Amino acid sequence: MTSSAAAEPSQRQVRLETPFSDQKPGTSGLRKSSQQFEQSHYLESFVEAIFRTLEGVQGGTLVLGGDGRYGNRRAIDVILRMAAAHGIGKVITTTGGILSTPAASHLIRSRQAIGGIILSASHNPGGKDGDFGVKVNGANGGPTPASFTDAVYECTTTLDQYSIVDAPAIGLDAPGKHAIGTMSVEVIDGVDDYVELMQQLFDFDSIADLIRNDFPLAFDAMHAVTGPYAKRVLEGMLGAPAGSVRNAIPLEDFGKGHPDPNLTYAHELADLLLESDDYRFGAACDGDGDRNMILGQRCFVNPSDSLAVLTANATLAPAYAGGLSGVARSMPTSAAVDVVAKELGIECFETPTGWKFFGNLLDAGRITLCGEESFGTGSNHVREKDGLWAVLFWLQILAKRRCSVAEIMDEHWKRFGRHYYSRHDYEAVASEAAHGLYDRLEAMLPSLIGQAFAGRTIANADNFSYVDPIDNSVTKGQGLRILLDDGSRVVIRLSGTGTKGATIRVYLESYVPSSGDLAMDPQVALADMITAINDLAEIKKRTGMDQPTVIT
Ligand code: VG1
Ligand code: CO
């Protein structure tokens, strides 16, 4: 452990010639290219607005860390010096500045911090030519609500100066206690507390026993933040052979990869599981460690199904042995979990896209598990989705049931029926073309009701809006829904996390009861709806793209 004495910092007010006009956070924090973040005063402007908006700054504790991407260390240095200038009492940061999003959420809660700043653009590529991002979490450990991020944005649009102190950079190479003026800085290992929490939730002995008995697994950390966490847990504690965790060292540019755990960007892992019989289990996490992809031998688990399976099998994990209070899913996530909730007799909520909408339900104890179709699952153990937690949950279920992933899926569908589901992403579409497509479809919605669509009839068509059941806040414009008379549906949204042009997301879902054909390829099962929405929304014509960039 190292320690350094309080330096004598000198405080400066830095004037801004003109405020920035583009610091509006999206679905999950402010995401821009690394180059935009490198403009003079750009990061400082956003951080100043955060400190002016966050409650409890004077003397409060702040958690700070990131996914290790290019810009992480510089941002930590700047934020530490700005925190000192704003009267923060203590900052908890981590060795190498490495801290996953769920681990940050846990630290905020366990250390009674006023909140945290997480440096990540999540699943977006990193490096000098990639993206950087800043997320702010509140005292409950979860993403701050729109009322907060709107206030931060407002503040940036008129900002004329920011405060910072001059002080030498704090060494992040080893745990230690430091100070900048009267503000203390504690550098801790960002993995320790998180691992302890996982041990409380799951039966590590039973999982270790599974892994010891002919259960080869492959985990792809995608050169992002989960490498050190997965190495410690899977190889160090649960006995997976060395090398089971791949791409385990976090790199500033993620090895030039796209740290998004799906079949396109994690195709090396997908090939290992889907094209060979060498592994029983495979998983990957994203840049900041909150997403997960689950694979079995020749079996891909759709994230919407994953949430349903975890819900149906929750009592196999010690943390959830007493049952669940309720569950929630984002609107575009399939209704697979709804069917399970109904059978369990628990509440099921439908929220807009983005983890911040689960916070109130979790805080109020109304839900225990929640998830999104975008490879995000989590529980009330933190206030973020949690990639490695989901992997351990699956391993826990497999350790108790001792069957294959494919068998779990087959049995699940035989019991509950199957929600055929797919998401088609059209990435980096010219902004005007994407908005034109969206606006045109939105204008058409009222006239669609009663019309034929993919051999069914459109029962309803609207733009999803949400009333939070806890604080009654209203969130409008959350995605265009075309609901068919047999329960099938198509949803179209524009992404709020992309940084290049616009990304159109098309979500397709169709339910087959347990008596129907449960073994189809989803692209085949949904083919008529795919054609129908292409025609209706003129997707090919307006984007100039024959195929989606990513199909999940
Ligand atoms: C996407 C996903 C959404 C997720 C968000 C943040 O948002 O669709 O479900 O919550 O990313 O995920 P959008 O607006 O691009 O569709 V991540 O792992 O920041 O942390
Ligand atoms: Co993420």
pLDDT by residue (tens digit) across 233-287?
999 999 999 999 999 999 999 999 999 999 999 999 999 999 999 999 999 999 9
Nearest CA to ligand 1 atom 13: 495
Nearest CA to ligand 1 atom 20: 122
If we measure between CA atoms, which residue out of 317, 292, 484, 295 comes closest to residue 372? Answer: 292
Mutate to test the pocket of ligand 1, among 254, 491, 497 (most ligand atoms within 8 A of CB): 497
Ligand 1 centroid to residue 117 C-alpha, Å: 18
Tokens read off for 519: 């073994």
CA of 42 to the centre of ligand 2 (A): 23
Each residue's pLDDT tens digit, 407-417: 999 999 999 99
Is residue 453 helix, strand or coil?
A: strand
Active site residues: 122
Residue 294 has pLDDT above 90, yes or no: yes
Give all strands (DSSP E) within 344-438, no chain letters.
347-351, 369-372, 376-379, 418-429
Give the model's pLDDT for residue 4. 52
State whether the beta carbon of 425 lies less than 6 angstroms from ligand 1. Answer: no
In this prediction, residues 221-238 reach a mean pLDDT of: 97
Whether residue 386 has its Cβ less than 6 Å from ligand 1: no
Mean pLDDT of 449-458: 96
The predicted pLDDT at position 213 comes to 92
pLDDT tier at 1 (50, 70, 90 boundaries)? very low
| Whole-structure pTM value | 0.92
User: What's the CA-to-centroid distance between 326 and ligand 2, angstroms?
Assistant: 24
Give yes or no for residue 291 CB within 6 A of ligand 1.
yes
Tell me what the pLDDT averaged over the chain comes to: 95
Ligand closest to CA 143:
1
Ligand 1 atom nearest 101 alpha carbon = 20
pLDDT in tens, 320-345: 999 999 999 999 999 999 999 999 99
Lowest mean pLDDT among 4-18, 113-127, 216-230: 4-18
* pLDDT at residue 374 is higher than 80: yes
Residue of the CA atom closest to atom 6 of ligand 1: 28
Residue 288 CA to ligand 2 center (angstroms) comes to 5
Q: Closest by alpha carbon to 444, among 462, 456, 466, 426?
A: 462
Q: Is the CB of 247 under 6 A from ligand 1?
A: no
**If DSSP codes are grouped into helix, strand and coil, which group holds residue 164?**
strand
- Report how far ligand 2's centroid is from the alpha carbon of 9 (Å): 35
For atom 10 of ligand 1, which residue has the closest CA?
A: 354
For residues 11 and 353, what is the distance between their CA atoms, to the nearest angstrom? 41
Mean pLDDT of the 449-453 span: 96
Residues in the chain, total: 552
Whether 412 contacts 308, CB under 8 Å:
yes
- Provide CB contacts within 8 A for 6, sequence distance 6+: 179, 180, 181, 182
pLDDT at 5 over 70: no
The SS3 of residue 212 is helix
Cβ 290 under 6 angstroms from ligand 1:
yes
The pLDDT tens digits for 469-527 are: 999 999 999 999 999 999 899 999 999 877 778 999 999 999 999 999 999 999 999 99
Ligand 1 binding pocket includes 413 (Cβ within 6 Å) = no
354 lines ligand 1 (CB under 6 A): yes
Q: How far is the CA of 111 from the centre of ligand 2 (A)?
A: 23
Q: What is the pLDDT of residue 8?
A: 65
Ligand 1 pocket check for 67: Cβ under 6 Å: no
31 lines ligand 1 (CB under 6 A): no
The percentage of residues in the chain with a pLDDT greater than 90, rounded to a whole number, is 95
Q: How far is CA 329 from CA 150, 195, 377, 486, 505, in A?
A: 24, 26, 9, 21, 17
CA atoms within 13 A on the CB side of 95: 12
Q: Could you read off the pLDDT of 136-185 as tens digits, one per residue?
A: 999 999 999 889 999 999 999 999 999 999 999 999 999 999 999 999 99
Pocket test for ligand 1, best of 101, 260, 307, 353 (most atoms within 8 A of CB): 353
pLDDT, tens digit (0-9, with 9 covering 90-100), for 428-440: 999 999 999 999 9
Residue among 498, 335, 517, 485 nearest 429 (CA) = 498
Q: Which of 470, 292, 287 is nearest to 367 (CA)?
A: 470
Separation of CA 385 and ligand 2 centre (Å): 8
What DSSP letter does each residue of 407-429 carry, written as one string? Answer: HHHHHHHHHH-EEEEEEEEEEEE
Phi, psi of 505 (to 5 degrees): -110, 130
Ligand 1: does its nearest atom lie under 6 Å from the Cβ of 358? no
